[in-house]
Amino acid sequence: MSEPQYLSRRDLRKPRIRPLRLLSLIAVVALVLGSLAFMNRVAVRGVYEQITGAEYSGEGSTLVNVIISRGDVGTDIARKLVEADVTKNYDITLRSIYSANPTFFPGTYKLPSQIPSTKAIEYLIDPKNKMTNRITIREGLRNSSVFELLSTSTGIPVDSFVEAAQDLKTFGIPKAAPSLEGYLFPATYEFDASYTAQGILKVLVERTKEQLVVDGVAKKDWHKVLTLASVIQREARQEQDFYKVSRVFLNRMKINMPLQSDATVSYGVNGNTFQTSAADRADPNLYNTYVHTGLPIGPISGVGALALDAALNPAEGNWLYFVSVNLKTGETVFSDTFAQHEEAVRVWIRWLKENPDWND
C-alpha cells in the first residue's frame, strides 16, 4: 500500500492578481484602445456614416469632371464635390478635407460619382486623375493660327482669344506693340479647364518675356528685337541661314536700305504665301518693308529661341541680298552685290517653272 500524498499549505493557495496590477493593466489597455480610436476616428466615423447612409459607400459609378480653380479653398472644393454628386454631404466632405489637410492643385479631375469623401480626396490629390490639354505651337505661326490651335485643344471659342488679345495693357508688353503678334512664345503647353482665354495668353506672353530675359535683352529693346526676330523667323529656312539672314537685314538698316522682305508684305496685306504681287509691294501699310525703310511696326509671327538668338548674334558678312533657290530643300543663296543676286533669282525662277504645283 502506497504512502498517502500530502500538499503543503503553500501548494493549496490559488494564484491571484493583485488589484493594483490589474487596474494598471486595464488602464494601459484602455489607453491603447483610446489612442487607436482617436487616431482612426475619421475612418471609424466614416464607416459609421456609410452604414447610416450619411455618406456614399462603395467604389462609385459614372465618371464625372471636377474643376479646381486657382484660389479654391476647402469650402469651395467640398461644395463642388457635392454638386457633382461625387460625395453626398457637404459637412462631412468638408470635415474630411480639414482632417486630411491635403494640398490641392488647380485643374480638371476625373472622379467616379457617389463615393466616400475620403476616397474623393484621394482622387483629387493623385496627379494621374488630372486632365490636361496638351498643345504644341510651332515657330512662325501668326496669332490667328495660334488662336485656332488653342481653341481646338481647349474648347474655348476663337472669338474669346481674339477678344482677350485686344486688352494689351493686361499683358504688360511694350506700348509700341500694335498687337500680341510675336509675343506668344512657340512651345509645348498643357492647359486644364481652369484656364480662361486670357489666362492662356498670359502664359504664352510670360514665356516670351522669360526668353528675352534669358537672352539678356533689355526691356526697352524687347519690341525691336522681337520684330527683327519675327522677320528672320519667316524668311530663314535652314538653321545656319538664320544668322546670315539677320546679318543681311542689319546691313541694310545700317545703310538705310529697305529690307524688302516679302514676308512683311504678305503679312501687311493679310496674304498667306511668300510670293507677292506688285500691288502688294506697293501697298502703303506700315508692315510693308518695300515702301518703308527699317523694321515693320511690329512682329509678323511667333518667334522661337533660334530666331531670337540670330537677331542678337548675327553672322559676320557683307551680304545685302538672299533668295531661296529651292523652296523644297530651303537652299538659300546670299549675295554681296545686286548682280550676284540677279543670277540667284534666275535660279529661283527656273526652279518655280520646274515645280509649278509648289505652294509656299
Is-contact 338 314, C-beta < 8 A?
A: no
Mean pLDDT taken over the chain: 87
Confidence of residue 275 (pLDDT cuts 50, 70, 90): confident
Cell matching residue 176: 509700341
pLDDT at 218 over 60: yes
H/E stretch holding 110 reads: strand 107-112
Phi and psi, residue 302, nearest 5°: -70, 145
Confidence of residue 6 (pLDDT cuts 50, 70, 90): very low
Tell me what pLDDT residue 194 has: 78
CA separation for the pair 345, 331 (Å, rounded): 12
- Would you state the CATH architecture of domain 52-131? 2-Layer Sandwich (3.30)
The percentage of the chain sitting over the pLDDT mark of 90, rounded to a whole number, equals 66
SS3 208: helix
DSSP characters over 248-287: HHHHHHHTT-----HHHHHHHTT--SS---HHHHH---TT
**Mean pLDDT, residues 49-67 taken together:** 77
Query: Pick the residue with more confidence: 317 or 5?
Result: 317
pLDDT at 125 over 50: yes
- The rounded radius of gyration (Å) of the Cα atoms in the chain is 36
CA separation for the pair 146, 136 (Å, rounded): 10
Q: Is the dihedral of CA 300, 215, 254, 233 positive or negative?
A: negative
Other CB atoms within 10 Å distance of the CB of residue 49: 20
pLDDT at 344 over 50: yes
Residue 126 zone, left/alpha/beta (φ > 0; ψ -120 to 50; rest): beta
Distances from the Cα of 153 to the Cα of 64, 132, 172, 201, angstroms: 20, 10, 26, 14
pLDDT at 171 over 70: yes
Other CB atoms within 10 Å distance of the CB of residue 123: 19
Strands 321-326 and 188-191 come out as unpaired
CA separation for the pair 283, 301 (Å, rounded): 20
pLDDT at 86 over 70: yes
pLDDT at 52 over 90: no
SS3 53: coil
The domain locations on the chain are 52-131, 133-214, 219-354
CA separation for the pair 73, 328 (Å, rounded): 55
Query: Could you tell me the pTM of the whole model?
Result: 0.71
C-alpha closest to that of 230 among 178, 293, 290, 308: 308
